[in-house]
Amino acid sequence: MSAPAAEVPEDANEHCPGVMSEQAGQSDACAGCPNQAICASGEAKKPDPAVSEIAQKLANVKHKILILSGKGGVGKSTISSQLAFQLASLKHEVGLLDIDICGPSIPRMLGLEGQEVHQSAEGWSPVYVEDNLGVMSIGFLLQNQDDAVIWRGPRKNGLIKQFLTDVIWGELDFLLVDAPPGTSDEHISIAQYMKEAGVDGAVIVTTPQEVALMDVRKEISFCKKTEIPVLGVVENMSGFVCPNCQHCSHIFPPVSGGAQAMCEKMDVPFLGRVPLDPQLLLSCEAGRSYVESNPESQCAIALKQVVTGLLTNLQNASSSR
């Protein structure tokens, strides 16, 4: 049986037993691993002091939600940005943390390209869209937006830790964490670092076709292994409604039943379907709220239903604790 993802260092050998295992540093799989000595000594079992520091830093954040996707290109950052806009429009205090280190698109989708982070003795201040919507991203730290971020795992993890320890979020109702696709270094880091702070759960974004759902099942498995509740799955790009005749065409046919059928099989909540709409793309390109600009559209109604479902699931989860 493989070790839980959160117990395996990012530079560990294949078949690592995990730092909490009795075999840590001693099994055959540990031979030649750069972590072998520290694991064998028991030092690796000691908690990272940053975990407690992060818990203190985020003590005034009511809800911490990860936005995940198994497959790239399914519109995860689109959903993240529009969720942030909607929650802020409901008068909540909202923070959006972009930990997609190699592909930070959140600054553009929030209309913040070219903005810089302000540093003080207290830490880093988020960049604000509105008084109640703050954003942090590596995109604010790049001198040239076209520069590639070519970093290995430890450096990525170091920046994520710095975002969590140094950013002055203040009192928030919601902190949304936009993660890159997959189940790699960034995901393991955020699960480890926020363990004591408490993650309310994850919203997972997919598209209807099976090639995307295959990877979403892995994402749900990751959440279960790291004990992160799944607050719901959003099926994005779910049909295209013709603006002239209102006929719905399935650009990505749900050949295996789509996200709803998958959720029923895996016993996780389904938050709804968001159709394709060119105006949603244009809103993201312009960095503005789509729902505010197109409140009566089918896509806006679907996005509002996603937010309603998310808030309901959060409330139910809090009641059951």
Report, as an integer, the average pLDDT of 183-210. 92
* pLDDT at residue 153, as a whole number: 76
Per-residue pLDDT of 104-143, as tens digits, reads 999 999 999 999 998 888 899 999 999 999 999 999 998 8
pLDDT at 5 over 60: no
Q: Which H, E and C letters describe 110-172, residue by residue?
A: CCCCCCCCEEECCEEECEEEECCEEEEEHHHCCCCCCCCCCCCHHHHHHHHHHHHHHECCCCE
Q: Which of 88, 93, 90 is nearest to 111 (CA)?
A: 88
pLDDT at residue 282, as a whole number: 96
Token pair listed for 159: 């920046």
Q: Is the dihedral of CA 258, 260, 265, 268 positive or negative?
A: positive
Of residues 32 and 4, more confidence is placed in 32
Q: Does pLDDT of 4 surpass 60? A: no
| pLDDT tens, residue by residue, 19-37 | 778 788 888 889 989 888 8
Lowest mean pLDDT among 20-29, 217-226, 269-278: 20-29
Instruction: Please tell me the number of Cα atoms within 13 Å of 153 on its side-chain side.
Output: 13
Phi, psi dihedrals of residue 120, rounded to the nearest 5° = -145, 180
Q: How far apart are CA 48 and CA 158, in angstroms?
A: 12
Q: How far apart are CA 99 and CA 137, in angstroms?
A: 7
β-pairing verdict for 230-241 and 248-249: antiparallel
Query: Which alpha helices (H) appear in the chain, and where do they start and end?
Result: 36-41, 49-57, 76-89, 106-109, 153-166, 185-193, 210-225, 258-266, 278-286, 290-293, 298-320
C-alpha distances in Å from residue 58, one per residue of 8, 9, 53, 64, 198: 25, 24, 9, 9, 9
The pLDDT, as a whole number, for residue 259 is 96
With vertex at residue 115, the alpha carbon angle to CA 112 and CA 118, rounded to the nearest 5 degrees, is 130
Contact, 165 vs 53, CB < 8 A? yes
Closest-CA residue to 96 (of 147, 119, 57, 130): 130
| CA distance to 57, 109, 281, 289, per residue, from 238 (Å) | 38, 21, 14, 20
- Torsion over CA of 35, 48, 97 and 259, rounded to 10 degrees? 70
The whole-number pLDDT of residue 45 equals 65
Contact between 315 and 199 (Cβ < 8 Å): no
pLDDT-above-90 percentage for the chain: 65
Q: Which of 288, 281, 285 is nearest to 129 (CA)?
A: 288
Three-state secondary structure call for residue 68: strand
**pLDDT confidence band for 44 (50 / 70 / 90):** low
Q: Say whether pLDDT at 222 is over 90.
A: yes
Q: Can you tell me which residue has the tokens 């059951």?
A: 320
